[in-house]
Amino acid sequence: MFRILFHTPEIPGNTGNAIRLAAITGAELHLVEPLGFDFSDAKLRRAGLDYHDLAVVTVHKSIDAAWEALQPERVYAFTSDGETSYVDINYLPGDVLLFGPESVGLPDEIKHDPHVTSRVRLPMLPSLRSLNLANAASIAVFEAWRQNGFAGAKL
Supply the pLDDT for residue 45: 62
Residues of the chain with pLDDT under 50: none
Q: Which residues pair with 139 in a beta bridge?
A: none
* CATH code of residue 121: 3.40.1280.10
Residue 120, domain member (yes or no): yes
Residue 90, domain member (yes or no): yes
Supply the pLDDT for residue 44: 60
Supply the pLDDT for residue 41: 59
Residue 152, domain member (yes or no): no
Supply the pLDDT for residue 139: 98
Sheet architecture: strand order including 84-85: 56-60, 28-32, 3-7, 96-99, 75-78, 118-121, 84-85
Supply the pLDDT for residue 37: 84
For residues 127 and 41, give the distance between their C-alpha atoms in angstroms, rounded to a whole number: 33
Tell which phi-psi region holds residue 129, choosing left (phi > 0), alpha (psi between -120 and 50) or beta.
alpha
For residues 78 and 140, give the distance between their C-alpha atoms in angstroms, rounded to a whole number: 9
Full residue range of the structural domain in which residue 42 is found: 3-147
Q: Which of 85, 88, 105, 97 is nearest to 27 (CA)?
A: 97
Residue 55, domain member (yes or no): yes
Q: How many domains does the chain have?
A: 1
Residue 79, domain member (yes or no): yes
Running DSSP on this structure, what letter comes out for residue 150? T
Runs of H (alpha helix) within the chain: 12-25, 42-48, 63-70, 108-111, 133-147
